[in-house]
Structure 1
Amino acid sequence: MSPAKPLGLRLTLHSVPPKQGLRWIALGWQVFRRAPLALSSTLAMFLVAAMVLSLLGTVGALLGLAALPLLSLAYMLCTHQVLQKRPVSWQVFSQPFRLTPARSRAQLALALTYVVATVAVIAAAAAIDGGRFEELQRLMAEAGQSEEARKAAEEALTAALTDSSLLWATLVRMGGLLLVSIPFWYAPALVHWGGQGALQALFSSTLGLWRNRSAFVLNGLGWLGILMASSLLLAVLTTLLGGPGLLALLVMPVTLLMLSVFYCGLYFMFVDSFRFVADEGSSEPTPPQQPD
């Protein structure tokens, strides 16, 4: 006699009006205000870990890249905990691997697929520009070390503006990474809460974003406006109060704050795009719900 099918969660797609894209930003900020230190330290811990991994060379860089899909799920879990008035725990990074072996394998498959897809995009862009983008990045990073380095960076930037291959490579890099992000946007959460396999989760994520594409476009425009306003405000403050030194001091905390709010908003994007109903007696993790 075959074993009974385990009780789980039933999933349905849901559509939202375009204006919901702006509300996702507001909801992300509301959650962040409830636990700013815990939420920002979660992101800071991940960034520090990624920097440490990068010191290990190519292998470390690939491991850090593989962890990026997990970061979005970790923040959804953090937001879920805050809404349930539970303390935020760094164990959110291991929680997706403590459910079932099948879901752990699916999360690992997503991580590997994300690395392969991202590396493929970067390799294609590098083939177009012959590696000049990486060289430009290096020169810009070294621009502050000496007058000669500053002049070399300025010359390289001027040359880049007239280099058509670099322009096409940049478009391929940005457009390719954007396309890669679409199927992975919700995929880890769909594996965790929905019990979907890796391929099914990638498909469902793409479908969820497409159905609410207008809201996502408005959300992106909202964040673009916030980024531009923040940059202008920082430029004014540094000009009036302290010059470049103050700018370097403020950029990191402001960036950390905005990224944390953005990642908090992912939870609301998810619960607006999908509806989960737990079967009676289910042993699945508590399904995400719309906040009151």
Structure 2
Amino acid sequence: MGKLPASTGWLWIKQGFDLFRQQPGSLTSLAMLYAMLNLVLSIVPMIGQLAAIVLIPAFSVAFMQACADVEQGKRVVPALLLSGFRKPALPKLVAVGLLYLSAAALAIGLASLVSDGMLVKLLTGKIAHDSAEVRDASLGSALLLILAIGLPAAMAFCFAAPLIYFQNMGVGKSIFYSFFGVLRAFKTFVVFAVSQFGLMLLLSQIVGALFGGSPTLFVMVMQIVLVLFSVLFHCAFYASYRQIFGNPVAPGAAAGNAPTDAP
């Protein structure tokens, strides 16, 4: 695969929307079911919240499989949400989730040290964002540190889950191919991320203009918008995976073979 033009990032969003409009109800139902499961997990103090993070890779492949099914003319069903909970993928997907959690903890921990603990206090609501302590803290350095750790980690974990699920790769191999797959199309992903952010900002402005007079109604509508946007994001993400690594194959069929167009 040659280097992709930056404009391909917007093309992925358009392709994602084309996938979504083929089965909008089924895909949205899958996202709402996932949101409900996350809500149930969040009820369990600490353990449930950590489990929700660790299981993100296992749940994310459900949407990739759903998009593949839509593309093949198959019906998306709720049972797809458990696609990532089958062996041999599950242990590796959980391992990726644990590594993701560790990277996040490392980034926040180091940033907290740089800011003398002020960042954690700010994130947990123990101190007001406009207080004198926050203004005097080294939050700029802390945020740069999070970016320095978080960006490479995001690149490494971006495609790790679908590569494990579709290509039957090991954890280390999937992280390697994910990192260099994103690196080779970095400008494209910048356009993709900026476009997603711009669309989300535009939608929030429209909802605010229409329902801003009623805070309760605004929150309800925004929750619906966020669910729909998450579905569109996963559809666009599937388009990016297909562009970089080729059409998905049945789980396990690749027997660990690396994609021929990967670095």
What interval of TM-score do these two structures reach, taking the shorter chain for normalisation? 0.7 to 0.9
Gap runs ≥5 in structure 1: 1-12, 141-151
Matched residues, percent identical? 25
Mapped pair 1:63 → 2:32: no
Q: Which residue of 2 aligns with 1:112?
A: 98
Q: Which residue of 1 aligns with 2:151?
A: 178
Change (3 A) 1:137 1:283: closer
Change (3 A) 1:201 1:229: same
Mapped pair 1:122 → 2:108: yes
Q: Report SS of the residue matched to 2:130.
A: helix
Q: Please tell me whether the aligned partners of residues 191 and 201 of structure 1 are also in contact (alpha carbons under 8 angstroms).
A: yes
Aligned equivalents of 1:35 and 1:277: distance in 2?
19
Q: Please tell me whether the aligned partners of residues 106 and 197 of structure 1 are also in contact (alpha carbons under 8 angstroms).
A: yes
Aligned equivalents of 2:55 and 2:144: distance in 1?
25
Change (3 A) 1:238 1:94: closer
Change (3 A) 1:276 1:138: closer
Q: Report SS of the residue matched to 1:79.
A: helix
Change (3 A) 1:38 1:63: same
Q: Please tell me whether the aligned partners of residues 66 and 112 of structure 1 are also in contact (alpha carbons under 8 angstroms).
A: yes
AA aligned opposite 2:17? W
Aligned equivalents of 1:160 and 1:39: distance in 2?
45
Mapped pair 1:284 → 2:253: yes
Shift of 1:174: 4.8
Mapped pair 1:204 → 2:177: yes
Q: How does 1:19-58 map to 2 (within 5 A)?
A: 19-58=7-46
Q: Report SS of the residue matched to 1:86.
A: coil
Q: Which residue of 2 aligns with 1:6?
A: none
Moved over 6 A (4+): none
AA aligned opposite 2:115? D
Change (3 A) 1:158 1:41: farther
Mapped pair 1:260 → 2:231: yes
Bigger shift: residues 179-188 or 162-171: 162-171
Q: Report SS of the residue matched to 2:246.
A: strand
Bigger shift: residues 221-230 or 163-172: 163-172
Summarize deviations over 1:161-183 as a string: whole Å, max 9, x none.
62332333334335533332211
Summarize deviations over 1:87-136 as a string: whole Å, max 9, x none.
112333332343x53x4432232222222222222222333334434443
Q: Report SS of the residue matched to 2:76.
A: coil
Q: How does 1:78-97 map to 2 (within 5 A)?
A: 78-97=66-85
Summarize deviations over 1:54-99 as a string: whole Å, max 9, x none.
222222222111111223322111101111121112333332343x
Number of positions where the alignment pairs a residue of Structure 1 with one of Structure 2: 254
Q: Which residue of 1 aligns with 2:138?
A: 165
Bigger shift: residues 119-128 or 157-166: 157-166
Summarize deviations over 1:209-243 as a string: whole Å, max 9, x none.
0111111111112112212222322232235xx34
Change (3 A) 1:111 1:283: closer
Summarize deviations over 1:115-158 as a string: whole Å, max 9, x none.
22222222223333344344434549xxxxxxxxxxx85xx434
Change (3 A) 1:160 1:254: farther
Q: Which residue of 2 aligns with 1:18?
A: 6
Q: Which residue of 1 aligns with 2:211?
A: 238
Gap runs ≥5 in structure 2: none
AA aligned opposite 1:199? G
Q: Alpha carbon RMSD of aligned pairs, Å? A: 2.8
Q: Report SS of the residue matched to 1:34.
A: coil
Mapped pair 1:187 → 2:187: no
